[in-house]
A and B are shown apart, each in its own frame.
Chain A
Amino acid sequence: MRTTALERNAARPLKNHTSFGQSVRHSLTMAYRGLLKIRRTPEQLFDVTLQPILFTLMFTYIFGGAISGDVHSYLPVIIPGILVQTVITTSIVTGVQLREDMDKGVFDRFKSLPIARMAPLAGALLADTIRYAIATVLTFAMGYIMGYNPDGGLGHVAIAALLVIVCSWAISWIFAFFGVIARTASSVQGISMIVLFPLTFLSNAFVPVDTMPNWLQWFVKANPISHLVTAVRDLTNSGTVGSDLAISLIGAAIIVAIFAPLTVRAYMRRT
């Protein structure tokens, strides 16, 4: 064994806390690890490639005639709705994969390294934004192929895409929390679907709210998913920025503020 690799660092500063800058660097390195993993196992991307194509086709042709009279005039309604639904559903996978990942020995090493405690989590979540980006692009592409021509213009579509990705990232912290506290990966999937299914369908994503009974309208209007869908519709269809955008971003910030610390704490407690 050559001595070079084993000689000691001269003066190592010993601090009992990790600075913000270090935390960001650690998280980015962990995100890099996530990307490498995706590159090594591209089959992980099946869901984010197939689901947008399948769902967009299905929902548009099934509901189009009934809700908007014809498929083409339904597109401005359904594309933002299906986009939000698809991308947010994708974020469940983050929790599931985190659970699987955490059962592996490598997480022991991450815990024993002097790195920011949240870095393995934040990195995994950050790497998954690539999945959301793929799902977003594919949904818009499908819409375009089917004849959707957003009036808001490409710039606003890009902003809308970014908004959906940011919000999905925020929501993925909820599923990451489930991922950390659950025993098995399949139970993460189960819990997450139970939470997400009502949230996405009890919204304005697929049908106009005024067709619903009053008591349901109340819930649907309060549902943050509805605000996100409306914000995306405003951006893509008319290029306007309304209060819904602000509400969506504030909602996302609140979710991160609550679930990021909760998740990190639960993560640290696990043995």
Chain B
Amino acid sequence: MDSPIRNDVPGQGGWAVEARGLRKAFGDNQAVDGVDLNVRAGTIYGVLGPNGAGKTTTIRMLATLLRPDAGSARIFGYDVMKESQIVRQLIGVTGQYASVDESLSATENLVIFSRLLGLGRGEARRKAAELLEEFGLTEAAKRPLKNFSGGMRRRLDLAASLIAQPPLIFLDEPTTGLDPRTRSQMWDTIRRLVKTGSTVLLTTQYLDEADQLADRIAVIDRGRVVAEGTVDELKASIGNSSLQLRIQDSRDIQSARRIVEQVLNVRSSVSAEAGKITAPMADADRVTDLLVSLRNEGVRLAEISVQKPTLDEVFLTITGHGVERNQASDSDDESKRLEEVAR
């Protein structure tokens, strides 16, 4: 990947994405409110945030699909507005909703995209077959996409983004709605992409996904970048996992709590009705001691679990407010988020 890049140091080290003060409003809604992003070539960069935070809008502006109201962005040194046709030759975009043709078959989709990218008839067929094999879709190649599962659609979508081997690939929530197995397959694919020298900019709502994949992460909220750094830096700012214990006999709960606080040397909280104790888990090794002590005291456990920091907690820590939430109940929360998206 040498010639197309204008940076001094092509590939590793140069900037794949440089965005300054990107802004975009839809009516009254300021979807993106001054976003700065720098992505080094050859890395995976994660943009983390809840629905409606402005992730998709940001990606669409970087991918020349949407014109920013203000600010500027460069892809490998090329301006997304003035040199958009060059930028389009350097990027692949995989959207949140599969951007493939529903009424056509997988092969037909890939052949058409290949032809549009300048491949000859035979070349396009070969390329399509190659990509389908790589993404495990060969058997379904001739079926219309209507019968495809969500995971197959995403894979085809990603395959379509790779036809021209673009040095920069945008993935907008690549695993949202996928089952765990398909998700980890997707992760493997993304990792392999970077090994071949591609740069990946992905958005996600899941902390663990960013954790698994990204070299650097930007946390975005209400159209602004509220935190940026390596995964470790970000994690350090989030705080610890918490340990949850459910006690079989609720009469033991006070003594159990005393043991927890003594052994872990932390303050815990108790919800008596549920018979549950929650304590921050700074050092996982101490939990062994705790379990031994509990057995010695004759406290029987019904359930034990470790709660990792959730996106909600990340937001609470970083922004001082949680993910936008209906005061009434959690179940309303999802519908509210959906409304935000539908907007």
Inter-chain CA distance A104–B108, complex, in Å, is: 17
B85 at the interface (CB under 8 A from A): yes
Check if A6 sits within 8 Å of B165, measured CB to CB. Answer: yes
Cα–Cα distance between A231 and B16 once the two chains are bound (Å): 59
The answer to whether A112 and B4 touch (CB under 8 A), given A3-B196, A6-B162, A40-B103, is no
B9 adjacent to chain A (CB < 8 Å): no
Write out the residue numbers on chain A whose beta carbons fall within 8 Å of the beta carbon of B99. Answer: 105-109
Select which of B64, B95, B116 is within 8 A of A105 by beta carbon. B95
Chain B contributes a number of interface residues (CB within 8 A of A) equal to 52
- Of A9, A113, A114, A115, the residue contacting B165 (CB under 8 A) is A9
Given contacts A5-B162, A8-B165, contact A17 B85 (CB under 8 A): yes
Chain B residues within 8 Å of A111, by CB: 64-65
Q: Does B152 contact A (CB under 8 A)?
A: no
- Whether A41 touches B64, Cβ cut-off 8 Å, given contacts A32-B112, A109-B93, is no
**Contact mask for chain A residues 40-72; partner B; CB cutoff 8 A; 1 contact, 0 none:** 110000000000000000000000000000000
For residue A36, CB closer than 8 A to chain B, the reply is: yes
Alpha-carbon separation in the docked complex, A110 to B1 (Å): 24
Output the nearest chain B residue to A6 by Cβ-Cβ distance.
B196
A112 and B134 contact, CB distance less than 8 A: no
Which B residues are CB-close (under 8 A) to A104?
101-102
Contacts of A115 in B (CB 8 A): 116-117
- Least CB distance, A12 to chain B, in whole angstroms: 5
| Interface hits, A1-52 → B, CB 8 Å | 1-12, 14-18, 22, 26, 29-30, 32-33, 36-37, 40-41
Across the interface, do B103 and A114 meet the contact criterion of CB distance under 8 Å?
Answer: no
User: B219 at interface (Cβ–Cβ under 8 A)?
Assistant: no
Interface residues in A255-271 (C-beta closer than 8 Å to B): 269, 271
Contacts of B85 in A (CB 8 A): 15-18, 114
Residues of B within 8 A of A17 (CB): 85
Q: Is residue B138 within 8 Å, beta carbon to beta carbon, of the partner chain?
A: no
Q: Are A16 and B104 in contact (CB under 8 A)?
A: no
Is A205 among interface residues, defined by CB-CB distance under 8 A?
no
Chain B positions within 8 Å of A87 at CB level: none
Given the known inter-chain contacts A33-B104, A119-B116, please indicate yes or no for A12 contacting B3, CB distance below 8 A: yes
Given A2-B134, A5-B130, A11-B3: A105 and B98 interface contact (C-beta under 8 Å): yes
| Of B86, B115, B133, most A-chain CB atoms within 10 Å | B115
Q: Decide: A12 and B104 in contact? CB cutoff 8 A.
A: no
Contact partners of B92 in chain A: CB under 8 A: 112
Interface residue? B286 (CB, 8 A): no
* A106–B116 CB distance below 8 A: no
Residues of B with C-beta under 8 A to A33: 101, 104, 108, 112
Are B86 and A112 in contact, CB atoms less than 8 angstroms apart? Answer: no
Residues of A within 8 A of B196 (CB): 3, 6-8
* Cβ 8 A contact of B115, one of A7, A29, A112: A29
Contacting A at CB under 8 A, from B53-93, are 60, 63-67, 82-86, 88-93
On whether the beta carbons of B103 and A16 are closer than 8 Å, the reply is no
B193: nearest residue on chain A (CB-CB)?
A6
A37 partner residues in chain B, CB cutoff 8 A:
101, 103-104
Measured CB to CB, the closest approach of chain A to B66, in angstroms, equals 5
B280 at interface by CB-CB < 8 Å: no
In the complex, the answer to whether B131 meets A10 with C-beta atoms within 8 Å is no
Cβ of B144 under 8 Å from chain A = yes
Complex Cα–Cα for A8 and B197 (A):
9
Given contacts A1-B189, A12-B4, is CB(A112)–CB(B112) below 8 Å? no
Determine which of B116, B133, B162 lies in contact with A29 in the assembled complex, contact meaning CB atoms within 8 Å.
Answer: B116
Closest CB-CB distance, B168 to chain A, in whole Å? Answer: 11
Q: How far is the CA of A110 from the CA of B117 in the complex (A)?
A: 10
- Decide: A7 near B93, CB < 8 A? Known: A12-B3, A108-B65: no
Is there an interface contact between A108 and B104, defined as CB atoms closer than 8 Å?
no
Instruction: Supply 8 A–B pairs (Cβ within 8 Å), ascending by A.
Output: A5-B131, A12-B3, A33-B112, A105-B98, A109-B100, A111-B64, A113-B116, A114-B89
- Having A1-B134, A9-B164, A30-B116, one finds 8 other A-B pairs with CB under 8 Å, namely A5-B131, A37-B104, A106-B99, A106-B100, A108-B65, A110-B116, A114-B85, A114-B89
Closest 5 CB pairs of A and B: A114-B88, A105-B99, A109-B99, A112-B93, A114-B89
